[in-house]
Amino acid sequence: MNLKLLIFRARSRGVPVYCCLLLCVYLVLKYFYWRPLETESVPKHLRGYLKFAENFKFPRHKLRAAEIKRLSSLVELLNNEREVFQTRRYGAVRGDTTTLVVQVHRDAERLQTLIVSLAQVRYIHTVLVVFSHSYYDNRINKLVASITFCRYMQIFYPYSLQLYPNKFPGIDPEDCLSVQGKRDKYCSNRDGRLTEHKHHWWWKACFIFNNLDWSDNFKGTVIFLEEDNYVLPDLLYMLRYTTRTLSYLQGIHVMSFGRPYAKYLDYDLLSVLSWRPPFDNGLAFNKTIWQKIMSVSSYFCMYDDVSWSYSLLNAFGKLRAGRADVVATAAPRVLSTSMFPSGRAAVRQISAWLADAKLFPVNVKAVMLYGSSGRIDSGSKPPPWGNGGWSDMRDHLLCLDPLMSTTTANFNDLTATSDPLTSSTTADYLTIAHHRVNMSDAEIRHLL
């Protein structure tokens, strides 16, 4: 039926012409431009967490000196308060409370989809979710403050690029200068935008295990997440099985709930193997393992790689066993949304993937593979050297003492100076490093 005939019949029946035109416009929009609702994969009662548009980006804005000073004071105050919210509804945090730590930067659109996924996790009301921010913005803080489904806390990385935009540990114009004040030709081009992520991961782990009110007697499990993660509803359900596996199979150090998605995976299977990336998504361990990591912290903090996961792999290689064994879910319970154009696009695809997924398995199996020559995958060594970007001694020292009370000006003085260090000054830095690291004087001098 053509448009002229449609309008003629409508007019003969007393329908105004403009109504017919509006109908035509509606049909055109519906068949050529209509898209499914962005929120159709999100339950209605959780759509209130979707506060940011799909293409939302924070504008680039550098703070003035006075603003930085005020923000630094605010960050210090908030980190000292360490307030836990929603305790009236869900009770106080105990020493065995499972803790989920989310590392947050500026991707608010993906963060809100992570929050939506967390809200759908069974037993989420029993845990504490800590949001560790490297960027302070009231809009992100209000998004987190709107959470009602569990206890939560917000902490703020105090050495971020936002607070140190033009000097170490941010982007220092004199990065990679040697102790003589000359450009180091062997330097691997330090970039504060990349080093921040490794620093932040290490700082928040130290803060959680060492600096909270219940840290001294903490016996729970900490699961590490990123703002661009998406968790499945049975994450904490499977945590109970992986934790139980630790008591049956001796020598397991960590747990992992993340890996790239693939079809035909067994959702009722746990595998035991040597830890390595990509098992860094959804990595989990307790304070006992953290203390072992701290005992080899120099191999994390001085490994020339801006990736915290490969630095951790290098540190695990220095343990007595020469590796860290992991019990991991064969099918991921923590997925990355970074491969998708947006968080909403990821939710739509993940919902399609999980349409036939057999979550909450009744019977869960744990397997360890052996061959004729012994255990398969009995060790995973890091690359002989890192990928670079972490050769600056100031990064090493800040990493070795991330909860320090001294100012970062001391670290700027270490390498950004035009005069050679005196022998007494060098000895002072060696004393600091030797106090924090289990290394010989010769090894430390080699790094200077």
Annotated binding site: 228
CA 273, CA 258: separation in Å to the nearest integer?
A: 14
Q: What is the DSSP letter of 422?
A: P
CA 27, CA 21: separation in Å to the nearest integer?
A: 10
User: For residues 221, 222, 224 and 225, what is the CA-based torsion angle, rounded to 10 degrees?
Assistant: 90
Q: Which residues sit in the known binding site for Mn(2+)?
A: 228
Give Cα separations from 248 to 151, 214, 241, 272 (angstroms).
31, 28, 11, 12
Query: 410-429 in b/e burial notation, b at 16+ Cβ within 10 A?
Result: ebbebbbbeeebeeeebeeb
CA 107, CA 57: separation in Å to the nearest integer?
A: 7
CA 266, CA 330: separation in Å to the nearest integer?
A: 6
Cα–Cα–Cα angle for 17, 21, 24, nearest 5°?
A: 140
CB 203 within 8 A of CB 157: yes
Task: From 240, 259, 282, select the one nearest 103 (Cα to Cα).
Answer: 282
Residue 421 token pair: 């260090």
Respond yes or no on whether the N-terminal peptide bond of residue 260 is cis (omega within 30° of 0): no
CA 56, CA 137: separation in Å to the nearest integer?
A: 14
